[in-house]
Structure 1
Amino acid sequence: MTVTDIKLANPSLRDVHGKIEKAARIAGRKSSEVMLIAVSKTRSVDEIRLLIAAGHRVFGENRVQEAAEKWPALKAEYPDLELHMVGQLQSNKAGEAVALFDTIHSVDRPSLIKALAREMDRQDRRIPCFLQVNIGEESQKGGCDIPAIAELLEQARKSGLPVVGLMAVPPSNANPAPYFALLAKLARDHGLDRLSMGMSGDFETAVKLGATHVRVGTALFGPRAAQAA
């Protein structure tokens, strides 16, 4: 199914794809450079199937346990599905994560790098990883401190962990543009060319500033029950 077919098949996908295309055009980029990850945390299999039926194939989950309950059967039914881990990951869940996910966006500490590298060796599976950066220096958020990026990258490379880019979530209720621009600069400084940044409320800004992966949930699935109440 082509992107045009996807856009025609589902109004939410049509809207999000249209906004990505417009933002990319403004930035002098191709929309094909941006991967749209449909974040399906707390969403039912039936809700997910609606996007699959429309042709979408890339999804994201925040918790290993929830993903393990929903995705093995879906991936067996649709072998071309791609699943991304976009939430915080505990080191003791590294084995399950390596087995289940196709990309991990939330690597942020030495112990997790060690656990993931060990599991990738054991399972003979190498999957791309992003270093998550605490771009707003917020104590309540995951992600490594900016000065720690170089050391974590060195550890990852020595251990064989394939780090391909940086990921961040800017502070809420703040203009995200300066944080996205900073993440893009940090990626360039460290020789990385992929940027996982931008969610439902700010993915257009992220695309304009170089995002290669945007993590969109509500704009595709609609408000969650708790939000709608």
Structure 2
Amino acid sequence: MNLEPGNTYGLFGLNGAGKTTLLNHLSGMLFPEKGSCTMLGENVKKRLPETMSEIYILPEQFDLPKMSAEVYVELQAPFYPRFENDYLTEVLKEFQVDTQKNLTELSYGQRKKFLIGFALATHSKLVLMDEPTNGLDIPSKSQFRKIMAATDQSERCFLISTHQVRDLDSIIDHIIVLNDGKIIFQESVLKISERLSFEKITDESERTPLYSEDVFGGKAAILPKREGSKDTQIDLELLFNGIIQKQDLINNQFKN
């Protein structure tokens, strides 16, 4: 796997597939038994300060100390040389986070939004997020997508692990699928749109789908895209299920 700046990657997989483990390897909290994980040419397991300052990981489960947001920033921001406090203030205002309270007095969703804001304000080159929308209400999920879409990603890379695929379908441009600790699919959204078509069909005798699921009034299907046909909206849930159950069929569409 190779992650490039200027991209937001969606990392999908079944429970236990290895998503959190992969994030922990990328952030230097776990060491691989074989192979290597490098960031800007340096092996992450060395945990060099100049490497760690370019990585921020937002875990799914976390604890925050009993202190104000201001004190937390004073203690943590110096580890990130490009930290922008004004940007953090803007994000927290958008998220409607009460910065006057101690962090432990905030709800789980409010604490999550504070850490999302802090992650973005670090301006680190690699930002790893594990289930960032868990615990967020519907308006906050919309705010998250809005903030991510407005973030300058030209020199940054975001890898977001989630089961909530519909929360990310408008902001990711690459899809990575893990299964049993292995990457079984890795393609850009652009290439997926070029090779696959997502349609509702009623008769499989006309066109044989690569994968389909029963829905009201027919089947939701993944089909090889016909030359000259229009792009269709990618159904991430359908695509994920198709990759898990028809891995070879789906991947064969990207070999040429």
TM-score category of the 2 structures, normalised to the smaller one:
0.3 to 0.5
Higher strand share: 2
TM-score (norm 2): 0.32
Higher helix share: 1
TM-score (norm 1): 0.35
Say which one has the larger Rg: 2
Q: Which has the higher contact order (CA 8 A, sep 6+)?
A: 2
